[in-house]
Structure formats: structure tokens, C-alpha cells
A and B are shown apart, each in its own frame.
Chain A
Amino acid sequence: MISYAIYFGFACLALAFAFNLWRLLRGPTVGDRIVALDTMVINAIALIVLFGIVTNDGVAFEAALLLAMVGFVGTVAYCKFLLRGDIIE
């Protein structure tokens, strides 16, 4: 039963990735692209966690945690650059 749920989860997340990619390419403003990238990172974390369930090991969560941190820092850096013209002043 769990395997069917995981198949369903992978399908949903793949579709979500396609939507995000569409928004990332389409724009129209820079803010839209930032949101799309941020959502893609969150979906990638979900994919990694699902992959960890499939392979049944806990190593994937280190990657998930790292990606969560790097994704957040990346989003804030993009926004800071657009707001201030610089990241670290």
C-alpha cells in the first residue's frame, strides 16, 4: 500500500516540478522567478525525503536539511540583491 502512495507522491511532485518550471521560464517579473525557484527547492526536499523512504535509509535527510538551508539563504540573497543592489553590505 505504501508503495502505491509513493508512486502517487512521485507523480504529483513531478507535475508540481513541471508547473514550477513553467513559472520559472515564463516570469514575467523577477519576483515570480524567485518564488518559482524557492518552490522548486521545497519540492526537491520532498523528493529527497520520498527517495529516502524508498531506499529505506536515513542518509537522505542530511541532504534534505542542507538543501533546506541553502535554498532559504539563496532566496534571501536574491531578494536582498534586488532590494539593495548588494548582498552583504
Chain B
Amino acid sequence: MIEPGFLAELFTSLLIVLGAGFALVGSWGLVRMPTLMERLHGPTKATTLGLGGILLASVLFFQLTQEVWSAHELLVSIFLFITAPISANMVAKVHLHEERLNRSGSVQSRAGKVPRSPGKGDWATYEAPYRDTPVAMSEE
């Protein structure tokens, strides 16, 4: 008969291994991918998920050893799950901005150049939209 303590320990170790593996895969994607737009995928998705796994393992571990449910880890993971898309969006905006200024370098991604946005304007990396674009007119 398998004891519940052993099962909890097994599950904790599994979560640690999975989390660290995902973090490693995310960083490997950062090295491997050709341009910034693709490089964003690894850290924002795989690394965040890996950290979530390690934090869950920590919750289980403290329940196992000290028999307390700690909410700190959940706080950290919720915060990271909220902020990761925001920072990825900001970095993507920086990439679009650099490409507009022709500072993004000569390396092309396999998907080709970033397409222009529909309509007259460009992607919104400036604070105010271009005049005569649908966005600008809808604000009037």
C-alpha cells in the first residue's frame, strides 16, 4: 500500500523537475530563435509556466513538512502570470518601434517582416494615433 506522504513527496519532486525543465526550455528558446518576436515566446510562456510549477511544489512542500498552507507562493505566481503578458507586450512594442526606425538589424525571421497594420496608420507605438486613421477618428 502506498502511503499518502510518499505520494505527496513524489508529486512535489515531479513538480520541481517539471518546473525547472520548463524554465530551461524557455531559456533555450531565447538562445535558439532567430528574431526578437520569436524569442519572446520562450520566456513569456515556458519560463512563466516553469516558475508556476516550482511555486506549486513549494506550496506542497511546506504543507508536507510544516503542515501549513502558505499563500505567499500563490501571490508570487498570480503576480507573475498577470505581469508576464504586459512586459511581453511592451517588448514587442519596442521591437516594432525599432523596426520602424530601421534599427532592428538585418536578420529576418522565417515568417518574414512584421505586416503593417490595416488602414493608413502604423502599429501604435506612439502615444497619439496618426490623424485620419480609424482609431484617431473614433476618439473624436
Task: Please list the residues of chain A having a beta carbon within 8 angstroms of any beta carbon in chain B.
Answer: 1-2, 4-6, 8-13, 15-17, 19-20, 22-23, 28-32, 34-36, 38-39, 42-43, 45-46, 49-50, 52-53, 56, 58, 61-62, 64-65, 68-69, 72, 75-76, 79-80, 82-84
Tell whether, in the assembled complex, residue A29 and residue B36 are in contact, meaning their CB atoms are under 8 Å apart. Answer: yes
* 17 A-B pairs in the complex with CB atoms less than 8 angstroms apart: A9-B54, A16-B27, A16-B28, A29-B95, A29-B103, A31-B94, A32-B39, A39-B30, A42-B47, A46-B54, A49-B76, A58-B72, A65-B72, A68-B76, A79-B90, A79-B93, A80-B90
SS class of chain A's interface: helix, strand, loop or mixed?
helix
Asked whether A65 and B75 contact (CB < 8 A) given A16-B24, A56-B65, the answer is yes
> In the docked arrangement, what's the CA distance between A64 and B61, Å?
17
The answer to whether A83 and B13 have CB atoms under 8 Å apart is: no
Q: Which residue of B lies closest to A77 (CB)?
A: B90
Give the total of B residues in contact with A, Cβ under 8 Å: 57
B114 in the interface, Cβ–Cβ < 8 Å? no
Interface residue SS majority, chain B = helix
Q: Which A residues lie within 8 Å of B83 (CB)?
A: 68, 72
Contacts A5-B17, A31-B94, A53-B58; is A42 near B80 (CB within 8 Å)? yes
- Residues on B with C-beta less than 8 A from A9 are 16-17, 19-20, 54
* Bound Cα distance from A62 to B80, whole angstroms: 14
Whole-angstrom distance between the alpha carbons of A83 and B97 in the complex? 7
Chain B residues with CB under 8 Å of A4's CB are 13
How many contacts between A and B, using CB within 8 angstroms? 166
Closest approach, in angstroms, between the C-beta of A88 and any C-beta of chain B?
A: 14
Answer whether A30 and B98 are a contact pair too, CB < 8 Å, given A19-B28, A68-B83, A83-B125: yes
Using Cβ atoms and an 8 Å threshold, which residues of chain A touch B9? Answer: 1-2
CA A80 to CA B54, docked complex, whole Å? 31
**Complex A-B, nearest 7 residue pairs according to Cβ-Cβ distance, in ascending order:** A5-B13, A79-B90, A16-B27, A12-B20, A9-B20, A61-B72, A19-B27
Shortest distance between the CB of B113 and any CB in chain A (Å):
15
